[in-house]
């Protein structure tokens, strides 16, 4: 599925949030973008983050080698094989603040390349 096909069926808020995430990641390094029916997977060798549309926001999930406890983390952090999976909800591109960008950078840098 292409990005155009993916965005043709989703809520209008999704594309600006995706573009804000990609603007940040473009400065970090190359990212393989894989649109699938449930969302967009962001990968190096493996997935390090996902954007999944929800009713009122886009859920940004990412994997870190440590647990983050912060009000922006909206779901219980899930440990899995020495890594921790976090979710932050983005209602619009402005929700992608410096802190979330730092976590995304950390997720990218700690993902196999």
**Which segments of 8-113 does DSSP mark as H helices, in order?**
14-26, 98-109
pTM over the 0.85 mark: yes
Average pLDDT over the chain, rounded to an integer? 92
- Structural contact between residues 29 and 97, judged by C-beta atoms closer than 8 angstroms: no
pLDDT of residue 81: 84
pLDDT of residue 72: 86
pLDDT of residue 62: 95
Residue 8 contacts by C-beta under 8 Å, 6 or more apart in sequence?
none
- Whether 7 has a pLDDT exceeding 80, the answer reads yes
Give the span between the Cα atoms of 67 and 17, in whole angstroms: 24
- Structural contact between residues 31 and 42, judged by C-beta atoms closer than 8 angstroms: yes
Confidence band of 70 (pLDDT split at 50, 70, 90): confident
């Amino acid at each position: 599925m292409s990005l155009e096909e993916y965005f043709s069926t989703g809520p209008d808020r999704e594309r600006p949030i995706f573009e804000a995430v990609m603007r940040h990641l473009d400065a970090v390094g190359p990212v393989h973008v894989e649109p699938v029916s449930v969302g967009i997977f962001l990968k190096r060798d493996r997935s390090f983050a996902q954007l999944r549309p929800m009713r009122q926001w886009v859920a940004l999930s990412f994997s870190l080698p440590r647990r983050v406890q912060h009000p922006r983390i909206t779901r219980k952090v899930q440990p899995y094989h020495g890594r921790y999976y976090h979710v932050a909800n983005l209602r619009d591109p402005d929700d992608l603040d410096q802190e979330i960008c730092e976590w995304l950078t950390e997720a990218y840098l700690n993902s196999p390349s």
